[in-house]
Structure 1
Amino acid sequence: MKLTRTARAAGRRPARSRALLTTAAVTAAALLLAACGGGSSGSSSSTGPTKLTFQASWVNDAEFTGYFVGLDKGYYTKAGLDVDYVKGGPNVIPESTLISNKADIALTSPDTTINAIVDQDAPLVIVGTQYQRNPLGVVSLTSSGIKSPADLVGRTVAVPDVNKLAFEAMLKINKVDPKAVKVVPYAYDPTPLIKGEVDATVDFTTNVPFTIEQAGQKASSFLMYDYGYKIPNDTVVVTKDFLAEHRAEVKAFLQASQEGWTENLKDPTVYPPTFMSSYFKGNGRTEANEVYFNKAQKPLIESDAGIFSMTPQTVQETIDTLGLVGIKATPAMFDTTLLSD
């Protein structure tokens, strides 16, 4: 598939990227890759575990700690799986790795995946979500007094190009005229905010406030999710064919991942330090940053319905929200039953 990438917050590192699929004829390229071979297909033997390739959405950091705990503690092995974890990065498009058979399971953003399904008939299905509440939010200095969308009137907000429609939709949901807010480009560097050149940025609330505080300022933030832009993130995605042929293995993967995240979130300060010389090595973050990230994401991952679960209500909220930015999703693009079978 031919893809363009959307960017996610990165703090002090290069802009974080996610796929935003265009209306180009991209399926043929992916099928060609698949025909030439490609990595994985849920293979197993009569005496060994099922091999699965899991594509992460970004380079190794605290965002994926639960999976690392699952690998280290043998939760996947206990579930009969041999999981090959593949880190992501700015040039990795998770949907493409699935369609080209280079991965069996991937973490994506629901907007990119559903855009692929709608525009290109990509054979993908969302089976769960890591973040029940999307970490994307509005970050400001506490001294600015910005606590809600209403406080953005008359302010200057730095917004990534890929998030402009979402930001405008969030303003409209909260009856704020988008023309009353000055929007400027954002390069995933909070320096302009720290220097007072802008009043706020649209960024990941799990990480960027730490960078601001390290610069000697106090940060405040609110989630766009909490103000009506209700889409999850790090959705767990497989192809329809893989799900049909390996439903039990996908369910086992989700359950083992639940164990890893449950163990990790018992005390978010415990595991990041143990991974600094292994999974987190070379990612440019400090131990304190990884602990901050892990603690900040805890309330965004945990859910009364269970980690990774998507209820009919949350699916409908996702569908309704994506409709605000012109992405037409349907319930058929989700399978919420694996963790309730």
Structure 2
Amino acid sequence: MTLDTRFTRKALTALTLASASALLLAGCSGDADATDDASASTGVSDMISADRCAENEAAGPITFLTSYAYVASVGLLDVLTAKDQGMFEDMCLDVTIEPGSNNTQLVSAGTAQFAGVGSPSDVMVAIDNGADVSAIATYGNPPAIMLMTNTDISDLSQLEGTTAGYKGAIPPQISAMLTADGVDTASIEWVSVGYDPTILPQGQVDALTGYKSNEPLVLASQGYDVTEWDPADYGIESAFNTQIVNSTFAEEHPTAVEDFLRASFAAYAWINESDENLDAALAYAESLSEAGYDLDLSAQRWKTEVGLVEESQPEGTVLGYQAVDQWTPEADMLMENDLISAEPDIESEIDTSFVEAIYDDGELVWPAP
């Protein structure tokens, strides 16, 4: 059975009170007391079976690490919203959300149970380095990474002999795009840079890697015009925003993993129901942020990423879908760029059972059985 995702604990409060009044007026106070006693004995939720609630409570405190602060990214804002709207509580899950950086290491060590990472590549590199993690959902199916240049660059070959900036590591999707276009990549000087994209229009670098939902929007808001080079236009396949779980935790608490995703995806749908819901989600994210939080740019970021997810969703699949052929292009890029020591065993690195368990004929089942 599927229910409207708006029916969360907050949304049901008025209905619960009204129902209780009706029971009293009908002289059914004995039945109502029995129901209240049953709910009290099985936790705080009346939106999940008693047995399942007990299983989820047995998972104990759960920590989710964001990929970068509290930005309005898919796989992050929806998790925040599931927390704020009481959806995790509805599933008898005790979830704490913290900003993360070394996500794969912390999840592997069991310090956190769940985390978001940027792409399947992050998961494959982590597992190649010995991490005990599994990928349980991937949101988008095109490359989220792109390369920016100033508008005087009309061909990628013009980047030969120039300086390009990257953050963290040179994205293999960008290297693959340049190679596919015949660029002499050895002639490009790559430099590690910070998070200020204005270094591109200010001339400190000639090209800059970034995300379609972030840096171009930031630069446009400041009046800068740049050219975006999309790896997808050069036949480069990739995916973005993957959720990972500690493998041991997943084995011991499968219903908790299912219902963590269930609540996250219910929140994703709720946010997208209206601009008012998006505003509420962003307001909560802003309240958690210690640094400045640009609400307008954050809304643009969310809508950009949702657009990428929806436009790239393979026919017949659902949000969070994962498959070996989805990950293979990135695995090939990692091998070609010597970023991993051995060919990934993708089938063992992804676990599709959790997403499969929370859908019925393509519809998210909410709440849980």
TM-score by length of 1: 0.73
Report the equivalent of 2:254: 247
Question: Do the aligned residues in 2 keep the contact of 1:62 with 1:272 (CA within 8 Å)?
Answer: no
Aligned length: 292
Partner amino acid, structure 2, of 1:202:
T
Q: Cα distance, 1:140 vs. partner?
A: 3.0
Verify: 1:81 aligned to 2:97, yes or no. no
Q: Could you give the per-residue CA deviations for residues 23-69 of structure 1, whole angstroms, max 9, x where no partner exists?
A: xxxxxxxxxxxxxxxxxxxx974795854322222211212221233
**Which of 304, 318, 334 is the aligned partner of 1:322?**
334
Report the equivalent of 2:142: 133
Report the equivalent of 2:79: 67
Report the equivalent of 2:66: 56
Q: Could you give the per-residue CA deviations for residues 109-148 of structure 1, whole angstroms, max 9, x where no partner exists?
A: 433432232233x32211111343342211234x3355x7
CA-atom RMSD, angstroms?
Answer: 3.0
Question: Do the aligned residues in 2 keep the contact of 1:49 with 1:77 (CA within 8 Å)?
Answer: no
Q: Could you give the per-residue CA deviations for residues 275-296 of structure 1, whole angstroms, max 9, x where no partner exists?
A: 4553223331221111121122
TM-score by length of 2: 0.68
Q: How does 1:1-341 map to 2 (within 5 A)?
A: 45=54, 51=60, 52-63=62-73, 64-78=76-90, 80-89=91-100, 92-109=101-118, 110-120=120-130, 122-141=131-150, 143-144=151-152, 146=154, 149=156, 152=159, 156-160=163-167, 162-163=169-170, 166-179=173-186, 181-225=188-232, 227-267=234-274, 269-275=275-281, 277-281=283-287, 282-302=290-310, 303-304=313-314, 305-326=317-338, 327=340, 328-331=343-346, 332-341=348-357
Partner amino acid, structure 1, of 2:356:
S
Question: Do the aligned residues in 1 keep the contact of 2:139 with 2:309 (CA within 8 Å)?
Answer: yes
Partner amino acid, structure 1, of 2:286:
F
Change in CA separation of 1:58 and 1:158 when aligned onto 2, cut-off 3 Å: closer
Question: Do the aligned residues in 2 keep the contact of 1:231 with 1:321 (CA within 8 Å)?
Answer: no
Report the equivalent of 2:361: none
Q: Cα distance, 1:107 vs. partner?
A: 1.4
SS at match of 2:334: helix
Q: Larger Cα Rg: Structure 1 or Structure 2?
A: 2
Change in CA separation of 1:225 and 1:240 when aligned onto 2, cut-off 3 Å: farther
**Unpaired segments ≥5 residues, structure 2:** 1-51, 358-369
Could you say which structure has the higher helix fraction?
Answer: 2
Change in CA separation of 1:296 and 1:150 when aligned onto 2, cut-off 3 Å: farther
Partner amino acid, structure 2, of 1:273:
D
**Unpaired segments ≥5 residues, structure 1:** 1-42
Question: Do the aligned residues in 1 keep the contact of 2:237 with 2:330 (CA within 8 Å)?
Answer: yes
Question: Do the aligned residues in 2 keep the contact of 1:158 with 1:185 (CA within 8 Å)?
Answer: yes
Report the equivalent of 1:22: none
Identity between Structure 1 and Structure 2 (%) = 20
Q: Distance in 2 between matches of 1:159 and 1:136?
A: 11
Could you say which structure has the higher strand fraction?
Answer: 1
Change in CA separation of 1:157 and 1:336 when aligned onto 2, cut-off 3 Å: same
Question: Do the aligned residues in 2 keep the contact of 1:130 with 1:307 (CA within 8 Å)?
Answer: yes
Q: Distance in 2 between matches of 1:132 and 1:83?
A: 30
Q: Distance in 2 between matches of 1:312 and 1:205?
A: 25
Report the equivalent of 2:34: none
